[in-house]
Amino acid sequence: MADSPILPGSILALASAIRNDGSLATFCFGTDVKPLGGGESLVYAVTFPDNVTWAVRVPVNASKSLTPSSLGAFVESHAALLAKLDKVGFRWSPKLIHYDTGHDNLINHPYLVLGWIHGTELEWTDAVPSKPQDRAKILRQIVDIRLDLAERTGVSALTFLTSMVDGKIERAATATAPDSPYQTASPPPADVVAFSKAYLEASPALLADRHLVRTYLSSIVSDPKQGARRSLAQAMKIVVSDPDVSWRYLIIEACFSRGLHAWLANRLWLIPGTRGDLANLDEFPSDKIMYEVEEFLRDKSVSDEIRDACLQAVQGL
């Protein structure tokens, strides 16, 4: 089913209909001409005469790889997550105003309408923010947000990670994601070793930022008034103290952004581990696992650059 183009007027009509008190919506921040990019979505900002501002998120990018039913489930899951965060009092997430998982609406597309969070985009490089006290303030706030999220939702890091991987593998296994891992991938680096040295080595600024985070976490761990948050802070401190944490994250991100979950979907010895627990590889013959890995590396559809990147990843972990 091809999605019809989204007309700016239909966004305003939708927002006004949801408000349903006679107030007419208008665009703000120029999003009628240039919607904000939000990963899988385009975001339109609309405001009303009483200065109430909403974000209308339309997952047009997600619709390119998902079936209509899967796209509806995608929107439903996002809405359920936002509703849960609101219920537990997590104040950092936007408020869910309304959503629709189908195409029978004023914009002919699934959507989410959220409360607008005012602010400016954070620029974060080795040089910006330039003042150590500003970097420390922002990093402390990020730590507090992560700890607050873990406290209020009660979801462990392991559960979060395995559910995320599970979702990717399930979409590939049920043909709701592109079969080819390489259709939308960025061109891999010609020199993997040079790329690794340029992008995976910790910069002086990153080392300083990590030190600020560890120092703040240590202050939480040593404060009896923090209660249960102390154990969460200790766990987070262990993670950010690992010198390989950035390398491991980038390897995982690189693999999944290239769509290797499509290959993982057919690995019987991996799928059980994504459904709540880590895989018990003892149940599968080691020679079978090795055969499948070698088969993947021999696959002619896999470029030499990606094969080299995978081998570099295995050697580096």
Six-digit token pair at 69?
């039913």
Q: Please say if the pLDDT value at position 161 is more than 80.
A: no
Give the domain-ending residue among 87, 115, 143.
Answer: 115
Note whether 143 and 199 are same-domain residues: yes
Note whether 23 and 142 are same-domain residues: no
Amino acid present at 223: D
State the DSSP string of 281-306. Answer: GGGS-HHHHHHHHHHHHH-TTS-HHH
Mean pLDDT of 174-190: 47
Q: Is 38 helix (H, G, I), strand (E, B) or coil?
A: strand
Note whether 76 and 144 are same-domain residues: no
Residue 103 lies in a domain: yes
Mean pLDDT of 2-29: 92
Least confident range of 72-76, 90-94, 120-124, 254-258: 254-258
Note whether 157 and 97 are same-domain residues: no
Q: Report the number of distinct structural domains present in the chain.
A: 2
Per DSSP, what are the bridge partners of residue 27?
46
Q: Please say if the pLDDT value at position 289 is more than 80.
A: no
Backbone angles phi, psi at 125, to 5 degrees: -135, -175
Residue 94 lies in a domain: yes
Q: Can you give the pLDDT at residue 271?
A: 46
Q: Band of the pLDDT at 179, cuts 50, 70, 90?
A: very low
Residue 122 lies in a domain: no
| Highest mean pLDDT (candidates 157-171, 191-205, 206-220, 301-315) | 206-220
Residue 125 lies in a domain: no
Mean pLDDT of 300-307: 60
Cβ 31 vs Cβ 57: under 8 Å: no
* Tens digit of each residue's pLDDT (9 = 90 or more) over 196-253: 555 556 677 877 888 898 999 999 999 999 988 888 888 788 777 766 555 555 445 5
Q: Can you give the pLDDT at residue 125?
A: 86
Note whether 212 and 105 are same-domain residues: no
CA atoms within 13 A on the CB side of 71: 25
Mean of the per-residue pLDDT values for the chain?
Answer: 75
Give the domain-ending residue among 88, 115, 142.
Answer: 115
Residue 197 lies in a domain: yes
Q: Can you give the pLDDT at residue 220?
A: 93
The rounded distance, in Å, linking the Cα atoms of 271 and 279 is 8
Burial of 262 (0-12, 13-18, 19+ CB in 10 A): buried
Q: Can you give the pLDDT at residue 178?
A: 44
Q: Can you give the pLDDT at residue 170?
A: 59
Q: Is 121 helix (H, G, I), strand (E, B) or coil?
A: coil
Give the domain-ending residue among 59, 88, 115.
Answer: 115
Six-digit token pair at 208?
């300083």
* Whole-structure pTM value: 0.64
Note whether 76 and 155 are same-domain residues: no
Note whether 185 and 245 are same-domain residues: yes
Residue 127 lies in a domain: no
Residue 84 lies in a domain: yes
Note whether 146 and 244 are same-domain residues: yes
Nearest residue to 137 (alpha-carbon basis) of 157, 122, 152, 118 = 122
- Domain encompassing residue 19: 8-115
Residue 121 lies in a domain: no
Note whether 303 and 205 are same-domain residues: yes
Note whether 175 and 216 are same-domain residues: yes
Note whether 97 and 151 are same-domain residues: no
Residue 35: CB partners within 8 Å, gap ≥ 6? Answer: 42, 43, 44
Q: Can you give the pLDDT at residue 120?
A: 82
Q: Can you give the pLDDT at residue 244?
A: 59
Cis link prior to 188 (omega < 30° from 0)? Answer: no
CA atoms within 13 A on the CB side of 33: 3
Note whether 295 and 156 are same-domain residues: yes
Q: Can you give the pLDDT at residue 116?
A: 96
Least confident range of 37-51, 125-139, 146-160: 146-160
CATH of the domain at 78: 3.30.200.20
Mean pLDDT of 31-52: 91
Six-digit token pair at 106?
């004023």
